[in-house]
A and B are shown apart, each in its own frame.
Chain A
Amino acid sequence: MPIPLDYETLRLIWWLLLGVLLIGFALTDGFDMGVAALLPVVARTDEERRLVINSIGATWEGNQVWFILGGGAIFAAWPHVYAISFSGFYLAMFVVLVALILRPVGFKYRSKKADPAWRRMWDWALFVGGFVPALVFGVAVGNVLLGVPFRLDSDLRATYAGGLLDLFSPFALLAGLLSVAMLVLHGAGWLALKIEEGPVLARARRWGVGAALASIVLFGLGGLFVAYGGLGYRLEGVVDPSGPSNPFLTKAVAAPGAWLDNYASAPKTLLAPLIGFLGPVMALVGIWRRADLPVFLGSSLGAFGIIATAGLSMFPFLLPSSLDPASSLTVWNASSSHLTMWIMLLATLFLLPLVLLYTAWVFRVLFGRITTEAVRTNPDFY
């Protein structure tokens, strides 16, 4: 059977789907991480903490699948990226895994005992489960923008230079803090929608203001760094967008400033950074006017704009190599085969709408603000 879409188109579609997945992850699991990171500062008493935890209690599990699916989809569509990034960021990945393992256990086990020490311990686990992944994911994206120190041999086996601490360069740290600010704002936006008026919500709004301002400043600083910090890679010579997935068949070089190329050649792409700035502004206005929906919409738009900016700046690069630019992974040389991309597209077109449909139904059934009264009386609550 001939495949109805050509290889180049499928690679483009899967680049877009990668964006959809990452943004889906940031918009759903992102507010869980933000809420968990806010837990120790917005909620002080046990009852307040249970209020915050139960605002995501019934939905964090489904949201987390965006992360798992992100891993699976990168494996299926961009196997080189999966293989090289996760082993290259080996210890950072371990730290993220530990944090993400603590999180579900924290939700489920925290309220099984009334002992305050037990609960305090799991509150810390939840905070770590929210804050650490948010930080490390941002640091990872920062490192990808900088270029990752790996090299491929003729069997396409990767070797690496550098360790865990090398990941925390100033630019990467900036990207990490931006990610934390963006997701904390998103968490505050969720709390604004999901919990009753009261001291917890008031604190969440205050933290939301700080996070929104930090997002705007850090995103701006990041932009300056990308423009003047000597970042960027470029493909040289003739590129066959339908060629076999082998990095040695394309030629990439380091080219400072090249991350701005796409904005010059296609000015419409400037919409992404614009949305990245306007989203947090909208959230600020929402907090100021006491309108809750715009806060969440604003934080969502902000996350969308910021992630889209990172992707568009690098296109067609997925994982540039700082050690050996010729080993860099791009949309044209690091995908799975034509057939696999097509089958996976069919599976996604069939299954993803179904997922969105039943997720929407579940959120609708659970619609409504969580109240302290419900936390006190409902035995199903965490």
Chain B
Amino acid sequence: MVDLAVVEMSRLQFALTAMYHFLFVPLTLGLSFLLVIMESIYVMTGRTVWRDITRFWGKLFGINFVLGVSTGITMEFQFGTNWSYYSHFVGDVFGAPLAIEGLMAFFLEATFVGLMFFGWDRLSRLGHLFVTFMVALGTNLSALWILIANGWMQNPVGAAFNPDTMRMEVTSFYDVLMNPVAQAKFVHTVSAGYVTASVFVLGVSAWYLLKGRHLQLARRSFAVAAAFGLASSLSVVVLGDESGYVLTDNQRMKLAAIEAMWHTEEAPAGFTAVGIPDIAEQKTHYAVHVPYVLGIIATRSLTGEVKGISELVETAETRIRLGILAHDALERVKADRTDMAARADFARYQAHLGWGYLLKRYVADPRMADDLTIAKAARSVVPNVPVLFWAFRLMAGAGFFFIAVFAFAFWLATRHDFGRTWFLRLAVAIIPLPWIASQAGWLVAELGRQPWVVEGQLPTFLAVSSVTLAQVWTTIIGFTLLYGILAVVMVRLMLAAIRKGPEPDPRWTEADQPRAGAPGAAWQPLPAE
């Protein structure tokens, strides 16, 4: 049997390292495209102020980027170090997108990012813009492949268990790529990154405006961030990854947990706006109920049923019993690989194999489980309802709030009105909010997947390595110390760079005035500049 303390500590370590990594990723995703936009304006107009703007935000991009890269190294190897059985069990499917991510995306961003910083005087304007664009493309492609891998854990399509190799193997690579959960996650996650970067640029610009410093840079950056942020915040909410919630039992369970929907309601189900979910009593106290809304959002119809938690637990119990039959057949295949009857039985029940594995938390051999144990295993498929309920509301609430913020910022920018002190203060104050929202988003996605590491196939507690508790403690303490120190260093350098602002560059002086007749010549300077 697996040491459950090792499981919990391994989960803690993964949560710690993944969420830390994801502090840097969203800003990289969005700021890289903001750099492309700013530099494109420079190339098109020839106005050097845009080059200085690009170089300034590029410097902040670099301070953040390097920690995203460093902490990504841990992620690439952690499946092997801490989740050895997972790596064996799904490596045939999960390894491929990870490797392609390296080949297609990470190589692209990492190879060009050096040139982006060091190539200003070695490349033409257009050449440098191309390099910046390659960095943005690379970072975003990187997110695509990682989310294809992650989406497969949520909805494992295009693969089947092979009793000869005791693992999942790819049956259709196309299905793995076109996984609707992965597609929805990709759009949602990169949009969230764009929002994060927009809030960051808007907030820092607002701070300069409040201080009356670097106004040329601040106004232009404010305007770019407002426009890009408005588009992205609309996209992040509208294209939120709701669409995948009706596909599988676990995705349904995640939805039911997010909504704290303890029992199935008659269609179309109502939406609980706020309330206090109570696990023990299986009800939500002080619930504010909005009729119909959930059914319509989740099923896009008035008749589609949204399953409640207790009904999903009943389904789980049925599947666990079928899973026992799958285990019995598998053990017979292992004992005699030529036993065709056993293979036929396995083929019949193999869809439920993972549900049988849930019993291994309580008994070494799932075939020995009694009714009480089966009921206990069925209840174990309910994730942490209150955390999901609140994390989702925090994330979604932030999403709607950002739409309002950017809509107003955009309206201000179109009127060249950069003097609303209350709004500028607000823009500075909300800088941390997108990070909080995206961390909450990860909690919803990954805690909502529990108790599975791969939905319906492999429970999390079976996925760990056979390492000792002392070993995991050592690495948790080590990573916490290292990451803690790096966070302090990074934030200080970032704040220092912001305080310093854009620096005049000795290599470029009066030589680069805007070209005569260039589109930029017609561009009106902002008032009071």
Contact = CB atoms under 8 A, between A and B. Distances in A.
A85 B80 contact: yes
Nearest to A377: B506
Contact of B111 (A103, A155, A359): A359
B486 to A, nearest CB: 6
B74 A105 contact: no
A380 B117 contact: yes
> Of B72, B93, B107, B471, which is in contact with the most chain A CB atoms at under 10 Å from its CB?
B107
A347 B100 contact: yes
Contacts of B63: 108-109, 112
Interface string B91-135: 111111011111110111011111101111111000000000010
Given A58-B114, A104-B70, A337 B119 contact: no
A86 interface: yes
Nearest to B166: A156
A65 B138 CA distance: 13
Majority secondary structure of chain A interface residues (helix, strand, loop or mixed): helix
Interface residues of A, number: 74
A64 interface: yes
Given A61-B110, A65-B111, A158-B84, A246 B95 contact: no
A255 interface: no
Contact of B165 (A98, A244, A359, A379): A244
Contact of B95 (A75, A109, A244): A75
Contacts of B106: 65, 68-69
Contact of A362 (B81, B103, B111): B111
B70 A105 contact: yes
B88 interface: yes
A359 to B, nearest CB: 5
B122 A365 contact: yes
Count class of interface residues, chain B: 35 or more
B467 interface: yes
Given A84-B84, A93-B77, A154 B103 contact: no
A72 B101 contact: yes
Contact of B465 (A87, A98, A107): A87
A313 interface: no
Contacts of B486: 101, 105
B474 interface: yes
A264 B123 CA distance: 54
Contacts of A234: none
A103 B67 CA distance: 11
Contacts of B167: 79, 156
Nearest to A82: B80
Given A72-B98, A246-B165, A101 B71 contact: yes
Given A69-B102, A352-B103, A365-B119, A87 B110 contact: no
A339 interface: yes
A137 to B, nearest CB: 13
Given A83-B88, A87-B467, A58 B482 contact: no
B503 interface: yes
Majority secondary structure of chain B interface residues (helix, strand, loop or mixed): helix
A244 B164 contact: yes
B505 interface: yes
Contacts of B62: 108
A323 to B, nearest CB: 13
Given A98-B482, A351-B104, A365 B115 contact: yes
Interface in A63-104: 64-65, 67-69, 71-77, 79-80, 82-87, 90-91, 93-94, 97-98, 100-104
A246 B107 CA distance: 33
> Of B79, B87, B104, B486, which is in contact with the most chain A CB atoms at under 10 Å from its CB?
B87
A362 B103 CA distance: 16
Given A86-B77, A156-B167, A337 B96 contact: no
B27 to A, nearest CB: 15
9 contacts: A57-B118, A58-B117, A71-B76, A71-B98, A83-B86, A86-B77, A86-B87, A94-B474, A362-B112
Query: Can you list the 6 inter-chain pairs with the closest CB atoms, starting with the nearest?
Result: A79-B91, A86-B80, A76-B95, A62-B111, A75-B95, A69-B102
Interface of B: 62-63, 66-67, 69-74, 76-77, 79-82, 84-88, 91-96, 98-104, 106-108, 110-115, 117-123, 134, 162, 164-167, 169-171, 173, 334, 465-467, 471, 474-475, 478, 482, 486, 489-490, 493, 496-497, 503, 505-507
Given A65-B111, A245-B165, 14 more contacts: A57-B118, A58-B117, A65-B110, A67-B73, A72-B103, A77-B99, A86-B84, A87-B84, A94-B474, A112-B493, A340-B169, A344-B100, A358-B108, A380-B117
